[in-house]
Amino acid sequence: MATTLALPSWPKRCCPRSHRLQWGLLAGLVVVALGSFVASGVHEEFLSLLLATGGGRRAVSAPLLPSAEAFLLVPSAEACAPRAPFLLVLVASAPSHAPRRQAVRNTWGGARWAAGHPVRTFFAVGLPPEPSQQAALEREAAQHGDVVQGRFLDTYGNLTLKTLALLGWAATRCLGAAFVIKADDDIFLNLPALAAHLAELPSPPRPTYLGRIHWQVRPNRDPRSRHHVPASLYPDSVFPPYCSGTAYVLSGDAVPALLGAARHVPLVPVEDVFVGLCARRAGIAPRHVAHMAGSAHFPADPCCYREVLFSVHDVAPSKMTDMWNEAGTHEQSCSSWQRTLGLLRCKALAWLTAL
């Protein structure tokens, strides 16, 4: 008679509720960690480090420097005396933007020291479309001594010329600055935090070009757009990685390298793309800095403006003054939990504001 073997009967077991809660908490922490990783921009900083290891610095031509007649207005020779500052901030402005320039002077641009390092801020403009505006610009320059005016019409299409002019002025009239910062006149710069970050870079430093990197941007082929780049000028399908023109940083030795490369780069009318093309020609890879906001819009939060972020874009003159005064009334802008969340919190606020 055949014998039937009985399989053992295993008791049904279920994970205790406490274990399920632990796994749920762990999964939540993983999601938060991944969100923090993406929001902090660490992955982009890692990619930019890979760019930096992709090639060495190339030999470039002599810097493309402006002649003495290239400027109509320049600060006095004492502007960078007795020595050039650690941070030289060059703000691209327009002749009609006097309220923006004054807001910068009254706030972060009026600083002469940042994190123990000397800093100076100047404004670069072109020729006004209305000749009657020139007299007001000359009075402003005489009063503040911080205006650099090139002999070209101040238009959006000439932003590339403006950048060449301000970098050329830096290379000839303020030689020796450790770092040159180019910023727009609606930018709020956190100079103490930025200066401290730059001072911690490895020494001796390599030529540095850092900011908020744009990746895989395609040229705009629409002739009606002010960002139009015809294929005859730039035939490739994508631009190389480049830093947002709202605010980026160049080390002092990167400035002449870019000006030398400019001799061999097409005069693309999109200014930040042009700088990126010059950097690639010079063999200088951009470095991503997540704390520079690029063109992202952030709410009026003192903690983000004064402690977490290095730059904030699209700040109106009244808002810039209010943010400066409000933050100045508090010894610390961030609470302990706000400081812990840091960049993740600021990006979440920006996302909520955009909804």
In the prediction, which pLDDT does 57 show? Answer: 55
Question: For 121-155, what is each residue's pLDDT tens digit?
Answer: 999 999 998 888 999 999 999 999 999 999 999 99
On whether residue 312 sits in a domain, the answer given is: yes
- Residue 326, domain extent: 297-354
Q: Are residues 341 and 246 in the same domain?
A: no
Are 323 and 273 contained in the same domain?
Answer: no
Q: Before 82, cis peptide (omega within 30)?
A: yes
- 349 and 245 inside one domain: no
> Residue 32: what pLDDT?
43
**Do 303 and 274 share a structural domain?**
no
Same domain, 270 and 198: yes
Mean pLDDT of 232-244: 95
pLDDT above 70: percentage of residues in the chain: 81
Q: Does residue 83 sit in the same domain as residue 141?
A: yes
**Amino acid 34: pLDDT:** 42
Domain closes at, from 288, 309, 327: 288
Structural domains counted in the chain: 2
CB atoms within 10 A of CB 320: 24
User: pLDDT (tens digit, 9 = 90+) per residue, 10-25?
Assistant: 445 555 554 455 455 4
Per-residue pLDDT of 82-119, as tens digits, reads: 888 999 999 999 999 999 999 999 999 999 999 999 99
Going by DSSP bridges, is the β-strand pair 242-251/209-214 parallel, antiparallel, or unpaired?
antiparallel
Using a 10 angstrom Cβ sphere, with 0-12 exposed, 13-18 middle and 19 or more buried, the burial of residue 4 is exposed
Q: Residue 326: what pLDDT?
A: 76
What is the rounded distance in angstroms from the CA atom of residue 25 to the CA atom of residue 155? 55
**pLDDT > 60? residue 49:** no
Identify which of 94, 324, 84 has the alpha carbon closest to the alpha carbon of residue 189: 324
Domain boundary among the residues 288, 308, 324 is at: 288
Examine the domain organization and report whether 245 and 330 are in the same domain. Answer: no
Whether 176 and 312 share a structural domain: no
In a domain, 5, yes or no: no
- 337 and 213 share one domain: no
